[in-house]
Structures are given as C-alpha cells and as structure tokens.
Chain A
Amino acid sequence: MKRDVLERILWSLSVDRFSKSKFKEDPEKYLSRFPLAPEDVEMILSFDVKKMQEMGVNPMLTMGYWIEMSPDRRMSSYNKKLGSEAQYSASIKG
C-alpha cells in the first residue's frame, strides 16, 4: 500500500468526526472504500504503528490515530507498540 493512502486514512481518523464515527461503527466497511490489501487492513485494525512508521508514515499521524481511535489510548502502550521503553511522551492532543 502506498504511504499516501495510509496517511489519508490516518489523517481522516485523527481529525474528521464523520470518518471517526463511521470507523467506530464498522471499521472493515469504512476501510473498504480505500485501495487496501488484506494485510493493510490488518495493520490498521491492529494499530501496528511501528509498521506504519517503517512504511514512512509521519509519526504525528500514527500518534494522532492512536490517541483518537485505539481502544487503549495510553501513550505508554503506544510506546510499547513502537518497541520503546520511553518514560515520557509527546502528546499533541489534550
């Protein structure tokens, strides 16, 4: 999957209320409108932010997506997903 498409999805799910609502209702249906392979869908649904960053996705988007949409919105969990033991985390949202 192209990074551009992934960034579009993550941006929408970070800032757009309608997109967030539709994703929460039925994530697979929401993602079906984008040109995604099954492994791409799995990456998004599993909040694999490490893999996303390895694909070149801007870390501000992976963080925004995590904070807005993940079941566990804690930054400590985000850091673990990244493979980091960081004690402190930037949060661009209150």
Chain B
Amino acid sequence: MAEIVGGFLVPHDPVMFVAPDAPPAEQAKAVWDAYETCAKRLAELDASTVIIIGNDHYMLFGTTCLPQYCIATGHTEGPLDQLPGLKKEEIPNNEALARFISNTGKASGFDWAEARSFTTDHSFSIPYQLIVKRASEIKGQTIKAIPIYIASAVDPFITKERCIELGRHLNSAITQFPDAEKVAVIGSGGISHWVGTKESGRVNEAFDRQVIEYCCSMQVDALAALTDDMVLENGGNGAMEIRNFICAMTAIDAKRGHLIEYQPVPQWVTGLGFIELSVE
C-alpha cells in the first residue's frame, strides 16, 4: 500500500527567475538555498511520487472552463510560461496513482476535472524543477510528480472548506492505492503578494508570520477561517493561494510544521515562506 511520508509548503515566484539579482545577494541566496534544503529533505524522505498542489494564473484555463479542482492523469509537460532557467520539459507523471485518485473521488463525492494531456504553469514547475527534480538527482532515481490545480487565483474560488475536504479525500485515496509508493505532497504558493494590481511590490510580513504560525502549529481551521476579504486586504490576491496550503496540510494529515526559511522580498514582490510538514 502507498504511504504518505511528508511534504512542504513553498512559494512559486517567477520574479526570482526574471530578476535574480534584484534583492540583496544574501537574501536571494537564502531563498535559493531553501529550495535546495527542501530537495535534500525530500530525498531523505525517500519519496517515490510527489503531488504538487498549485493553481492556474489565468493561463492554462480560460473563460470557457474554470475547474474548481483538476488532476493531470496522463502525459504532462511544462511550464507553459517558460522563464530564464525554467524551461519546458517532459514531466514523469505517476499516471496510475493520478487515475486512482480521480476514480476514488468519483465514488466519494469528488468529481475531478481530468487533464489527459496537460501543460503546467510555473506554480507546478518551480517546485518541481527546484525540489522534485533536484531530489531525483540527489537520489539518482526518478521521482514522479502529479500536478493538481485548484481554483486559488481565478474566481470562482474554491472554498477553503472544500480545500479541507479535498485534502482529506486525497489522503484517503493515496493510502488506499495498492502499490508500494512513498508519496510526498507540496502546497505551492504564497505568501503575501499582489499580482498585477497597483499594490504590487508590497509585502506584509505580519500577515505572513501569522500564516506561518498557523501552518507550523497545524491550525488548519484557523487558516481556513481567514476570510477572503481579510486575505485580499492583508496578503493580496496572490495570498488566496493559502488554499493550496490548506489542501496540502490536510492531504498529508501533518502533525507538525517546521519553518525552513522566510524572507520578505519586495524586489521579488513576495513574502517567501518554506515549511516542512511532518507526519510524525
């Protein structure tokens, strides 16, 4: 049977790639090093598959169809939005587990939108290339990766309560999977950032620290209780991605969180937090 071995909450900030030298060098190094720390820890967890919970940025899904939650069950490549140092490539999806999750959902009230052939965006590909692919290099063994996209950046937003339910469903489905997989889950996003609005460049460290506290102490309900109006005011439209955190924390059924790194970087328009989630 498959088991869940842990996971991470990490950012997916494209500005790091577009303007790598914008922040002070020490601060930039701390952020890049945090990804490397996550990769090393993932290799130590001996994960064979990683599920990355991210969100579209109105690139992959258009006005003709905006899924609440979508899983890639087949061929996967990405990212669509290539960046310097983040080029499009094939991604080794665990199609059997992805289909199992989708089919399990149909029997338990979760009608997944399925992407049979999928192109990711940076919300998947940044943690994939900097953590999962790097951990594969460290291990000398391919770690597969399944993209899950939830509606965290484009309305109609998935409710935070549904993110909890979806996470519980993921936990149940993964642990019912008959193959001997070791599965890690990454929640990709946050923390405070304003994307495309006049507040862009603002970082709210107080809000970020509150989110980090909730994530490290496993206060999922407190995180879910933050109203959208509060999040938009204090964390920006990008902070709606705490939904990805909520879903990942619940999917892992994490017992504790450990802050790896936090850097408020206005030059990269984001409060960048890295948390490891442990199952014991």
Contact = CB atoms under 8 A, between A and B. Distances in A.
Given A8-B63, A11-B58, A58-B154, A94 B81 contact: yes
B177 to A, nearest CB: 34
A92 interface: yes
A59 interface: yes
Contact of A92 (B57, B63, B155): B57
A46 interface: no
B196 A8 contact: no
Given A59-B196, A59-B237, A94-B17, A88 B201 contact: yes
B59 interface: yes
A82 B197 CA distance: 8
B62 A15 contact: yes
B81 A59 contact: no
Contact of B196 (A4, A60, A83): A60
A5 to B, nearest CB: 8
B14 A83 contact: no
Contacts of A15: 59, 62, 80
Interface string B64-82: 1000000000000000111
B155 A88 contact: no
Contact of B200 (A64, A90, A94): A90
B196 A62 contact: yes
B14 A91 contact: yes
Task: Find the residue from B59, B198, B201 having the highest chain A CB count within 10 A.
Answer: B198
A10 B113 CA distance: 24
Give chain A's interface residue range (CB within 8 Å of chain B): 20 to 34
Contacts of A63: 195-196
A25 B47 CA distance: 51
A86 B200 contact: yes
Nearest to A53: B197
Interface of B: 14-15, 17-18, 22, 57-59, 62-64, 80-84, 86, 122, 153-155, 193-202, 237-238, 266-270
10 contacts: A7-B63, A11-B58, A59-B237, A60-B154, A64-B196, A86-B198, A86-B199, A86-B202, A90-B15, A93-B14
Pairs A-B, 10 closest by C-beta atoms: A59-B196, A63-B196, A84-B198, A88-B201, A94-B83, A82-B198, A8-B63, A86-B201, A90-B195, A60-B58
Given A60-B195, A63-B196, A94-B84, 16 more contacts: A4-B63, A7-B63, A60-B57, A64-B196, A82-B197, A83-B198, A86-B198, A86-B201, A88-B15, A88-B22, A90-B195, A90-B269, A91-B18, A92-B59, A92-B122, A93-B14
